[in-house]
Structure 1
């Protein structure tokens, strides 16, 4: 079996929770790489910031639908976090805030998705390296 076929099979066998964890691991890694870049070079950071904002926007939109099966309190909390992420991202782009709080929030979400007791705990699909 080719590597690509294996990767497609692995992804198709993931639970929704594992898929969400993997997405957060990927976007958080991109944010971590962006954080290493010069804050004055917003062009080098904008792709990761925009990707993270789009992930949160999608989650917010999904939680706003009445057919969403999550408890209403959790849906409201996710929507509130998404609003904060959008505002904080804009402040990072304006160089008024740091990128690290966005990374921290994503790590906390990853912790919840993995069911682990600490942000550094390995999670689904072996993506725990992001939490380092």
Structure 2
């Protein structure tokens, strides 16, 4: 039996896909699964807070511009999350879902 070891990049991509899938499910079944919105947004917010914190660290191996882009995307995600909390509308989920999917695809496409 061989054991597959997941790289940090693959793990990050998987978590972004998980967050996007949860939000997409809520979007697709709105308003039936509305009660799951807070939980899904909290998971996504925590994920992006970790990404932003890692990118902001001085010893991050990422190039400065990449780190800045991660922080900017994270701030956008946090702002969208706040807006969704104040005025829940299914179409407001689209941006978050798309960003998560695009970043996950980029992480999977990048060489280790």
Q: Please tell me the TM-score bracket, short chain as reference.
A: 0.7 to 0.9
Larger helix percent: 2
- When the two structures are superposed, what TM-score results if normalisation uses the length of structure 2? 0.84
Size of the aligned set, in residue pairs, is 108
Per-residue deviation at 1:42?
Answer: 4.8
- 1:26 paired with 2:18, answer yes
Which runs of structure 1 show a deviation greater than 6 angstroms over 4 or more consecutive aligned residues? none
Structure number with greater Rg is: 1
Unaligned ranges ≥5, structure 2: none
Per-residue deviation at 1:73?
Answer: 0.3
Assess if the C-alpha contact under 8 Å between 1:21 and 1:113 holds in 2. Answer: yes
* Alpha carbons of structure 1 residues 19 and 36: separation in structure 2 relative to 1, 3 Å: same
Assess if the C-alpha contact under 8 Å between 2:26 and 2:33 holds in 1. Answer: no
Alignment of structure 1 residues 1-132 onto 2, 5 Å: 9-10=3-4, 13-39=5-31, 42-95=34-87, 98-115=92-109
Assess if the C-alpha contact under 8 Å between 2:55 and 2:71 holds in 1. Answer: yes
CA RMSD of aligned residues (A): 2.1
Per-residue deviation at 1:44?
Answer: 2.6
Per-residue deviation at 1:41?
Answer: 7.0
Task: Measure, in 2, the Cα distance between the counterparts of 1:106 and 1:58.
Answer: 14
Unaligned ranges ≥5, structure 1: 117-132
**Which of structures 1 and 2 has the larger relative contact order (alpha carbons within 8 angstroms, sep 6+)?**
2
Q: What secondary structure is seen at the aligned counterpart in 1 of 2:87?
A: coil
Post-superposition CA distance 1:34-79 (Å, at most 9, x none): 2134359753311111111110011001111111100000000000
